[in-house]
Structure formats: structure tokens, C-alpha cells
């Protein structure tokens, strides 16, 4: 089995992935900086199962601190594949703090790539985002679309810059790369600033749910374990292939309108939602819609979790979890 570095391993997707890779027999080296965007106590809780596993090791450092910080944090760990999930996430906050997003997602990624080059680590799974498609009118979104003028938030621009960096290192230094554009991942451990988490909290508190726009915006909601299955398959693909540079969508291939989502969340919680309509937020896109044929062909990726099933799993987890930081 392989030795896999997972950056951002204490986060929502990263902690689920680390558990899956350990279950599959791999050795996992975890890296995280416990960014205080939300309470780091929740990230420490995410890592509880991993920390108890004999094939898991953890290193705390910040990719912004440069190559030397990575050299110091990971002096001798053998690494076969890097899964780069660490990033400053979120469209709306990126509009308020664009410099922080570029520092974390572009400069931090460059430091990681340079460390990989110096260590002769040649395989990278890079977590990108559906945000790079912006308000592209052609749907569903295909990986071969021209994205020259699509990014409408600093977050999206930082993720597309990350993809361009991975191509540069593939071209110059022979790095094998699989870029994966994630589509609105949800489920247990979801960040408290994201919509489903907010909606459940508001319903349980007896408060109305804000609807930005007229409620017709739609997202391709993807359950976290389906995304993690795609990442795991991507790791296997990288281990089995050389000389590759590919970009795939990891979505659910079904946009869900906002009003439909709110109704489904209300059914999962057992409370009828009250709505308050507000203007659209800057940087938000109208629709995300993944064409997942390439991921299916390359990896056998096939999301299986229905929205109702995924929401039930989230609601059960949220009810059993101490109250999160209120963004």
C-alpha cells in the first residue's frame, strides 16, 4: 500500500478522506494549520479516529510559511502521493479578503509544489472547485471548456490559478497530476458557514432562512463520502499511471434549486421553513452542474447518495455535535 500526504486533513473533506485511506490499507501523513476560520476544536474532533490509528501521523504547519517549513515538518516521511486539499475556502468571504485567498491558495500551493519537486515526489491530486466555471451558460459543465473569463470571485481565481500551477509543474518537472473540481460537497463535519449547516441551525432555533435572490439558483450537491470515493479512486489512478495530467469533475450531475434544497432540509429536520428573501451575494454563481462522464470513464466514479439520504446523515450528525462556531 502507498504512503499518502493529505494536506488539510483536519477539515471536512480531509478528515473523511484520511479515514477512508486508512481503511483501504494506506499509510496517511496528515498536514493541517488549524486555521481559525471556524473553531479549531471541531477540526481536532474530526481527527479523533485517525489519531488513534497506527498508520497515521500528523504534522501541524502552514503552507504559507514556505518550503523550509515543510522541510522541517516532514523531514523523513516517505510520500508516494500528495492529496492537496488545504485551502482557504468560500466564495463570499473571498470577496472580503482576496489577498488572504491568494496567499493561502496560490502562494501556499506553490510552496507545496516546490517542496514536492525538491523531494522528487511525482504524483499530485489537486482539489479544485466548480467555482472556476463561473456563470458559464453551457451546461452541464465540461472539463474542456474555455475558462479564460469565467472566474467571478477571488476564490474561483485562486483555484484556477492552482490548476495552472499544477500544469506548469507537470510540463517542467514531469509531475503526474489529477485536478478534481468539487461541486458543493455536504454531509457530516461540513463547515458551519455553509448553507445546509446554517439552514439546519436556523430551523432548530425557530428563525427564518435567508434566500439570496429569487430561490432559483441551483447547486450540484454532492455527498461527502461520494466525493471521498472519487478522491480515493483518483489516488489509485495516479499510482497506476505515469505521465498523466487530467482534470475531472467530482459532482452529482443534478443541480438542485435553492427552494427545493430548503424544502428538503426542512423535511430532514421535521420543521417547515420560513423564508426571508434578500439580494444575491457578490461572487455567487447562478447554477453549478457537473458533467461527470470523464470521471466515470477514468475512475469508475458513480455518486450513489440521494439528497434525502445525505441530508438525513447530516442532520443526525449535527444533532449529536456540540454547537459550532457561529460565523
Contact 128, 180 (CB under 8 A): yes
* Per-residue pLDDT at 323: 66
Regarding beta strands 56-60 and 81-84, do their DSSP bridges make them parallel or antiparallel, or are they unpaired? unpaired
Query: Domain 3-184+223-252+290-304 belongs to what architecture?
Result: 3-Layer(aba) Sandwich (3.40)
pLDDT at 324: 54
Three cell numbers, residue 106:
496560490
Of 13, 129, 30, 47, nearest in space to 82 by CA: 30
Q: What is the pLDDT of residue 325?
A: 43
Number of other CB atoms surrounding residue 275 within 10 Å: 13
What is the model's pLDDT at position 292?
98
Q: How far apart are CA 323 and CA 327, in angstroms?
A: 12
> Would you call 155 a catalytic residue per the annotation?
yes
Q: What is the pLDDT of residue 277?
A: 92
Residue 226: how many other CB atoms lie within 10 Å: 19
- Cell digits for 15? 478528515
Catalytic residue among 155, 237, 289, 301: 155
- What is the pLDDT, as a whole number, of residue 326? 43
**Which positions of the chain have pLDDT values less than 50?**
325-327
- pTM for this predicted structure: 0.95
pLDDT tens digits, 69-88: 999 999 887 899 999 999 99
Residue 164 makes CB contacts below 8 A (sequence gap 6+) with: none
Q: What pLDDT shows up at residue 231?
A: 98
C-alpha torsion angle, residues 284, 289, 292, 295 (rounded to 10): 0
Contact yes or no for 113/226 (Cβ under 8 A)? no
User: Locate cell 478522506: which residue?
Assistant: 17
Amino acid at each position: 500500500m502507498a504512503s499518502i500526504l493529505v494536506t488539510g486533513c483536519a477539515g471536512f473533506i480531509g478528515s473523511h478522506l484520511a479515514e477512508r485511506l486508512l481503511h483501504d490499507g494506506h499509510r496517511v501523513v496528515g498536514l493541517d494549520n488549524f486555521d481559525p476560520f471556524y473553531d479549531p476544536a471541531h477540526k481536532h474532533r474530526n481527527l479523533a479516529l485517525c489519531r488513534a490509528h497506527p498508520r497515521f501521523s500528523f504534522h501541524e504547519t502552514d503552507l504559507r510559511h514556505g518550503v523550509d517549513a515543510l522541510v522541517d515538518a516532514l523531514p523523513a516521511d516517505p510520500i508516494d502521493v500528495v492529496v492537496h486539499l488545504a485551502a482557504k475556502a468560500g466564495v463570499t468571504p473571498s470577496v472580503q479578503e482576496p489577498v488572504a485567498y491568494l496567499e493561502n491558495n496560490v502562494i501556499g500551493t506553490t510552496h507545496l509544489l516546490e517542496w514536492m519537486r525538491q523531494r522528487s515526489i511525482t504524483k499530485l491530486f489537486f482539489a479544485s472547485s466548480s467555482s472556476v466555471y463561473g456563470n458559464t451558460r453551457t451546461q452541464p459543465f465540461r472539463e474542456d471548456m474555455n475558462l479564460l473569463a469565467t472566474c467571478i470571485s477571488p476564490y474561483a481565481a485562486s483555484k484556477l490559478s492552482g490548476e495552472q500551477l499544477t500544469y506548469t509543474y507537470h510540463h517542467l518537472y514531469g509531475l503526474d497530476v489529477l485536478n478534481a473540481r468539487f461541486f458543493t460537497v455536504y454531509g457530516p463535519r461540513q463547515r458551519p458557514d455553509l448553507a445546509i449547516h446554517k439552514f439546519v441551525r436556523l430551523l432548530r432555533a425557530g428563525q427564518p432562512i435567508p434566500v439570496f435572490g429569487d430561490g432559483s439558483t441551483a447547486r450540484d450537491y454532492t455527498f461527502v463520502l461520494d466525493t471521498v470515493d472519487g478522491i480515493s479512486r483518483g489516488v489509485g489512478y495516479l499510482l497506476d499511471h505515469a505521465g498523466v495530467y487530467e482534470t475531472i469533475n467530482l459532482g452529482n450531475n443534478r443541480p438542485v434549486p435553492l427552494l427545493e434544497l430548503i424544502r428538503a432540509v426542512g423535511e430532514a429536520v421535521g420543521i417547515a421553513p420560513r423564508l426571508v428573501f434578500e439580494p444575491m451575494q457578490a461572487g455567487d454563481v447562478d447554477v453549478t452542474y457537473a458533467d461527470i462522464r470523464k470521471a466515470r470513464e477514468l475512475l469508475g466514479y458513480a455518486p450513489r447518495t440521494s439528497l434525502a439520504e445525505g441530508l438525513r446523515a447530516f442532520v443526525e450528525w449535527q444533532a449529536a455535535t456540540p454547537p459550532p462556531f457561529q460565523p
